[in-house]
Amino acid sequence: MNRADNIAAGASGRQQRALDTRDRLMRAAEKLVAERGLENVTLRAITTAAEQKNESALQYHFGGRDGLIEAIHHARNAQVQEKRAEMLDALVATQTAPTLRHICKLMVEPPFLLARKDPGFRHYVKGFGREIAITDGAPTDYLMGRHRYGTRETRRLLRETLSFLDDEIFQYRFNTVARFAGLSMSGHARQKGAFRGPDSDVFFNMLVDMMAGILEADVSPDTRAALVNRQSSM
C-alpha cells in the first residue's frame, strides 16, 4: 500500500469512527430520554452512557443539545419516510381510490411498524412522542417529515378526501391528529409488550379509527362562530 492509499485508509477509518460515535451518542440519548424524560437528561449523562471518555464529544459532533435532538429527529424521520414511501407505492399500485382510513394508516403505520421491529425506535417513540405533540411548530413536520414524497402525497390524498373542509379547518385538524397520534404512541410505548401482540393491534386500529373520526367530523356552528370571532379580534 502506497502513501496515498495509507492516507485514504486513515481518513476512511476516522470517518467511520466519527459516524460510530455519533450513532452511539444518539442511541444513548434516545434510551435515556425514554427512561427519564427529556428535561431530566444531562449532556454528561448522555456522554457517559455512550461510553465516551471525552466529555466534549457531544459538543464536537452535534454542536450541543439542540443539534443532537435535531439529528435524532432527522435520522428517525428518514426511516419513517422510506417506509411510508413503500406503503404509498403499494397503495397506488392497487389503482383503487384510498379511503380516509387508508390515508390515516399512511400517517401512523410506518412509525408503528418500525417501533414493532426496532427497540431503538421504540425508545424514540417513547421518549420523543410527547415532545413532538407539544412542539410550538407543526407536529406533522416531526411525525411525517417535511417536503418529502410520502408526506406530500399523503397530505394531498387527505386534502382531496376532505375537500368539504376549508383550508383553515383542514390544517387545524391535520395538526391535531398528528399531536394526538404522537401522544398516543408515546403512551403505548410505555406499556408492557408495546407494539406487539393482540392488544397492540387493537391499539393501532383504534388509533386509526379515532384519527379518521377527528378529521371527518362535522364542523359545528359553535366552531364556525369561534373562528369568526377570532378573526374579528385579530
* CATH number for domain 1-63, candidates 1.10.10, 3.30.43, 3.40.109, 1.20.58: 1.10.10
Query: What pLDDT was estimated at residue 13?
Result: 66
Q: How many CB atoms lie within 10 A of CB 159?
A: 15
Q: Which stretches of the chain score pLDDT less than 70?
A: 1-13, 135-148
Sign of the alpha-carbon dihedral angle for 90, 94, 99, 101: negative
Q: Note whether 151 and 78 are within 8 A (CB).
A: no
Query: What pLDDT was estimated at residue 139?
Result: 56
Query: What pLDDT was estimated at residue 8?
Result: 45
Tell me the C-alpha distance between 174 and 211, whole Å.
Answer: 9
| Whether this model's pTM surpasses 0.75 | yes
Which stretches within 42-99 are classed as H helix? 43-49, 57-62, 65-93
